[in-house]
Structure 1
Amino acid sequence: MSAVSTPPVTPTPVRRDAEATKAAILKAARHLLARHAHADITLKAVADRAGVSPPLILKYFGNKDTLFARVMSFETDAAALLAAPVEELGPHMVRHVLLSQTQHGADPLLRIVFAPLHGEQGDILRANFRYQVTDLLTARLSGPDAGLRAELAVAALLGLGVMYGIARGTEVRASTVEALVERYAPAVQAYLTP
């Protein structure tokens, strides 16, 4: 009887999808930024939440400041939030806020609510929000009081995001996205239409 020897199995290193990993890191940083002061958040905490190592965060983002500069930017979120003609923007924005929370676990706007926690970083967050969200929406609106109407529309979206994602209103969360769009979007659209 001869013994058959088999070579040892060498595990294949797990290859990460770079974009998925970056997205997980950004999502983890957003989550922590919504719950803790910027100064209290460590790269290790972000890494632990994202399921990666701190050196991987450094590889993709360079340092904590660069990572949080991305987290504090609303540019990509605003592009998606405002990606509809003005005549259809209210329903689009309401649907986008709700789907972002239900499907991606992140609200495109809510991190602005936590700006007071972040000292000087909060000032950056507020400035980015103003320039990248409300000013961009204002520029798309016609008619009188466009700036005021843009801010009121965004305020309505923030209220919905808070009730859905932070307060976790039982009735709101029990409704379907489309039922909420049908009820809530006309109020948002009313601010967008002169």
Structure 2
Amino acid sequence: MAAARRAFARHAYADTTIAAIAAEAGVSPALVMKYYGTKEHLFTQVFTFDADATALFDAPLDRLARHMVLHLLAVQRSQTRDPILRIAFSRHHLELGGQARANFRTQVVDALAARLPGPDAPLRAEMAIGVLLGLGALYATVQADRLTRLDPDVVADLYVPLLEPLLRGDSPAPPAE
């Protein structure tokens, strides 16, 4: 799965092969096919976010902001997988990218919105996930030197005040349409 995530992050769906994924994983293409069946099914598994969202949101609401930041940082620092950031790569995949984005909306954004109290929960969930995506992009893509040198607790101390109003529902309401 890690090899498939890296492959689909670097290459368009049409340019990604089972043979290349298998080679990077150090297994045979037949083994990949045995477990995933088709390249499309493997792609679908790469762009499924249920387990990632479960881990990301695994804290009570009063500690959720800190947990989300620390979880994201731990995963980024371990470089084992990119739990939420792989949605950024879905634009490479014209054929199936729409499904990946729909999965992300349902499994991550909507799941967070369902936990949030108060008005405008879907909007606040989108904004909170946006903050996390920005932080993750700084770590994974930009590799912001000053930020990545900070202790995770210090980063959490800086990001929690951005996230908590969004999660609690005490952020200003958006203007009426």
Is 1:30 the counterpart of 2:2 in the alignment? no
Question: 1:99 and 1:63 mapped to 2: Cα distance?
Answer: 32
- Partner residue of 1:84? 59
Question: 2:19 and 2:160 mapped to 1: Cα distance?
Answer: 40
Is 1:102 the counterpart of 2:77 in the alignment? yes
Question: 2:44 and 2:157 mapped to 1: Cα distance?
Answer: 35
Question: 1:117 and 1:174 mapped to 2: Cα distance?
Answer: 31
Tell me the SS of whatever aligns to 2:59. coil
Point out where structure 1 has 5 or more consecutive residues left out of the alignment.
1-25
Question: 2:83 and 2:160 mapped to 1: Cα distance?
Answer: 17
Tell me the SS of whatever aligns to 1:119. coil
Cα offset, 1:158, TM superposition:
0.2
Question: 2:90 and 2:167 mapped to 1: Cα distance?
Answer: 26
Point out where structure 2 has 5 or more consecutive residues left out of the alignment.
170-177
- Contact in 2 for aligned 1:100/1:108 (Cα 8 Å): yes
What RMSD, in angstroms, separates the aligned Cα atoms of the two structures?
Answer: 1.1
Task: State the number of aligned residues.
Answer: 169
- Partner residue of 1:49? 24
For 1:138, give the aligned amino acid. Answer: A
- Contact in 1 for aligned 2:48/2:100 (Cα 8 Å): yes
- Partner residue of 1:9? none
Question: 2:150 and 2:28 mapped to 1: Cα distance?
Answer: 38
For 2:91, give the aligned amino acid. Answer: P
For 1:85, give the aligned amino acid. Answer: P
- Partner residue of 2:167? 192
- Partner residue of 1:40? 15
- Could you list the per-position Cα deviations for residues 33-73 of structure 1 after superposition, in whole angstroms to 9, with x for gaps in the alignment? 11211111101111122121111111221221221111010
Question: 2:17 and 2:126 mapped to 1: Cα distance?
Answer: 33
Is 1:116 the counterpart of 2:96 in the alignment? no
Cα offset, 1:120, TM superposition:
2.6
Runs of 4+ with deviation above 3 angstroms: none
Question: 1:168 and 1:104 mapped to 2: Cα distance?
Answer: 12
- Partner residue of 1:160? 135
- Contact in 2 for aligned 1:91/1:186 (Cα 8 Å): no
Question: 2:100 and 2:110 mapped to 1: Cα distance?
Answer: 14
Is 1:71 the counterpart of 2:46 in the alignment? yes
Structure 1 or 2, whichever has the larger Rg, is 1
